[in-house]
Amino acid sequence: MNWLASLFGRGARLDAAQQARLDAWRALPAADLKLPIDAARYVVVDVESSGLDLNRDKLIAIGAIAIRDGRIDLADGLEIVLQQDKVSGKDNILIHGIGGEAQRAGVPPVEALLSFLEYLGKDPLIAFHVVFDNTMISKTLRKYLGLRFNHPWADLAFLTPELCPGANRQLRALDDWMGYFNIGNYARHSALADAVSTAELMLALRPLLAGRNAECFRAFQGIEQERRMRTFGLPYA
């Protein structure tokens, strides 16, 4: 496979049933991003990886939870470990707690990614530090499914400080904002637990969003993008 094929995922090989599942996901209608929060479904996502190098490291796990009709729906979640050819290092395992046996026994990547897409549908995504999560998910979808993942995201790492201008400027990490809003976490650095904490942060911002008349995804995504533009001069860093 040449570098162009790798870039655009032309080397992906799916059987007929897998291709049908991917085609069915592609055919879903786009979400209405102007629906009010109380009438929408958002998917809050977090990932675990073999490291922090966006080019070299691999996606290990995806955790996701839905915010449906303005509430966290604990019955509408997903936690999946992708089967790894090579287990990540010991120091990395100490962070996320997904051991070598669990990595080797994970779900084959094609099946794991199709399950993620079917869970997601076309609903918009929310994360804390979107660049990392989106890059890890997108490059893995491209590699195994041949899918170029152009999906709506909102990044709480930019939205939160924009809505909380009076907060300490040193509040940057998810842990910082969890402390600021008194949000707990039952298993920090578990993809699903971190997704739930991120969802709680999203709901903690609702009164502040109401004060900005930004009670739909398109509106609060716009606020996030404005701050990103001021910070980096680009809509996505």
pLDDT digits (tens, 9 = 90+) for 137-169: 999 999 999 999 999 999 999 999 999 998 878
CA 195 – CA 214 distance, rounded (Å): 22
CA 18 – CA 34 distance, rounded (Å): 32
pLDDT grade, residue 67 (50/70/90)? very high
Dihedral sign of CA atoms 63, 154, 166, 169 in order = positive
- What confidence score (pLDDT) does residue 1 get? 36
Is pLDDT at 232 greater than 80 in this prediction? Answer: no
Closest Cα to residue 164, out of 179, 183, 180, 153?
180
The pTM of the full predicted model, rounded to 2 decimals, is 0.90
* Residue pair 78/24 in contact by the 8 Å Cβ criterion: no
CA distances from 226 to 154, 220, 237 (A): 12, 10, 12
30, burial (CB in 10 Å: exposed 0-12, middle 13-18, buried 19+)? exposed
pLDDT grade, residue 3 (50/70/90)? very low
- What confidence score (pLDDT) does residue 145 get? 98
Tell me what the mean pLDDT of segment 124-136 comes to.
96
- What confidence score (pLDDT) does residue 4 get? 38
- What confidence score (pLDDT) does residue 189 get? 66
Which domains are assigned to the chain?
Answer: 37-232 (3.30.420.10)
- What confidence score (pLDDT) does residue 9 get? 46
pLDDT grade, residue 65 (50/70/90)? very high
Is pLDDT at 235 greater than 80 in this prediction? Answer: no
Tell me what the mean pLDDT of segment 59-65 comes to.
97
- What confidence score (pLDDT) does residue 120 get? 98
Closest Cα to residue 125, out of 117, 108, 171, 162?
117
Q: What is the per-residue pLDDT across 173-190, written as a single tens digit (0 to 9) for each?
A: 999 999 999 998 776 668
- What confidence score (pLDDT) does residue 209 get? 97
Greatest Cα pair distance, the chain, in angstroms, is 55
CA 48 – CA 46 distance, rounded (Å): 7
